[in-house]
Amino acid sequence: MMDATPFPDWPPYSSVRATQLLFQAGKKLKEEYEDVEDFGPVNLGISFAPPEGVPGSKFINKHGAEQRYSDPGEQSLLGGDIDSKNTLDKNYLFLAQKAGAEIRPMTEADKIEPLPGGGYRIHCLVHLHSKNAWKRFLRKWMPFFGKLEVEEVSYTARRVVLSAGSIGSTELLLRNRDIHKTLSKLKGPVGQRYTTNGDFLSAIIPFRGIFVSWGGLLGTILALIIQNYVILIISILAYFVGLFISRKPFDPDIGPTNSDFIRFKGEDGSTQGAYLEGGRYPTPGRLLIAIYLSVFKVFRPRHYKKIIRFTNFLRKYIPPFALIARTWPVPILKMGGDKAVGTFSLDESGRATIDYDIEANRDFYTYLNRLAKRVAKASRSWWIPNFAFNLTKILEVPHNQGGLPMGENSTVGVVDHAGRVFGYKDLMVLDGSIIPLSTRPNPALTILALSERAMEHILAQIQKSGDVTADEK
């Protein structure tokens, strides 16, 4: 359904330099170290143009939904992934709508109330844009101050499936157990065994002459100020020597994120101990131009290619821009079999907070950093630690898992192997919240496979008895 395919090895995808950098590092590391298990392209749920196709052009997918082929020149975080990612609205939800399902946008489930005769009443909050012009202005330009208006609605359903993700689904069940008291019979470790999949971030700068060139640039400025022409000549030479011993910019804003990986064994020799992948982000100069266009004119993902051409012109003819372009780091996204777990609780407003034992992962993060330093050395780059984490101890976590872990019975799990909630008939959870431990690689395909398998069991049970009940051992 998601049509996950490896990142292509044909143009223009094969010319994404940041991806090729990780491929080359992976090849070198695999030749040198026994704990390197594999490297190469990641299977991505993105529609890439075939060799004879045109990136950015539209097509109709096998389900009948309109999409676009991914164009590596369109920055993915600034809309380049729109319609090229095989998101649910292009497959599962698209087919569900064709079969009669309704999608209610801006509608937040709040209370799940079991009905006496079976089924549930779902109380929701519909977030609406205000009709007041001033409030709409605040919402658009100062979203933290411009709040949406809320309207309460409710729906009834024979069966309910929660798929709000680790944080959303866990928060919803905790709120209904502890605040609304409508699901007071919930059993098992509700809100426990949260994991981050070992997510940790650092970066590399593939520019070995960075200090020589920056020293030369600063020396040039100083020499012009003090009018010392000897220092000026030496500084200019240092600037260009630094560029000469480096390579062309690797442009960490081009191409989709997580398109490459290097897989390592764990410290204990276990398989799939750690994954290192290359990240992407809009580089500051190009981002500022995109923001300017968004505010004062109009910005569309395809416009990023014009921004690239303009900044490449600056790099070629204005020396400092060539140096700046080589200075942007390539993020290294790291994940794997960590040890830390967290516990959910609700704050005064009924929103989830997580008590996460970061210290339990100290040795694991040190191990990941050692691997990242290897990657930096193999790619002839400088390694950069995660300064934000070192200062704040705050993690960026894209792969939240757990909170409603599966188990064989209600003592060790909130749901069974098919996501059926213990203690409640016709109530299911199918998302990353039911995964009881770190998956190690990106969990998207694992969650998809788990959900597909669960629905096979659930549909068979409905056909047999009409009810969905947990399988407790």
**Does 94 have pLDDT greater than 90?**
yes
Q: Is the pLDDT of residue 225 over 70?
A: yes
Report the distance separating Cα 92 and Cα 86, nearest Å. Answer: 10
Asked whether residue 260 is assigned to any structural domain, the reply reads: yes
How does residue 288 score in pLDDT terms, banded at 50, 70 and 90?
Answer: very high
For the segment 80-92, the average pLDDT, to the nearest whole number, is 94
At residue 319, the pLDDT reads 82
pLDDT at position 132 over 80: no
Q: Is residue 449 part of a domain?
A: no
pLDDT computed for residue 141 by the predictor:
73
Q: What confidence score (pLDDT) does residue 252 get?
A: 96
Whether 57 shows a pLDDT value over 80: the answer reads yes
The domain in which residue 285 lies consists of: 202-340+362-392
Q: Is residue 96 part of a domain?
A: no
pLDDT-based confidence at residue 146 (cuts at 50, 70, 90): low
In a domain, 71, yes or no: no
**Predicted pLDDT at 153:** 96
Q: Over the chain, what is the mean pLDDT?
A: 93
Please tell me the predicted confidence (pLDDT) of residue 215.
Answer: 94
Task: Tell me what pLDDT residue 1 has.
Answer: 80
Q: Within a domain: residue 157?
A: no
Q: Is residue 452 part of a domain?
A: no
Confidence at residue 472, expressed as pLDDT on a 0 to 100 scale = 85
- Say what the pLDDT of residue 147 is: 74
Q: Work out the average pLDDT over 213-227.
A: 93
- Average of per-residue pLDDT across 280-307: 94
- If one counts the domains in the chain, the total is 1
Instruction: Write out pLDDT tens, residues 323-362.
Output: 999 999 999 999 998 989 999 999 999 999 999 999 999 9
pLDDT value for 142: 74
Distance CA 280, CA 42 (A): 14
Would 209 be classed as within a structural domain? yes
The answer on pLDDT for 244 being more than 90 is no
Residue 79's pLDDT is: 92
Predicted pLDDT of residue 125: 96
Tell me the percentage of the chain whose pLDDT exceeds 70: 99
| pLDDT score, position 425 | 96
- What pLDDT sits at residue 399? 94
Whether residue 464 has pLDDT greater than 80: yes
Residue 302 in any domain: the answer is yes
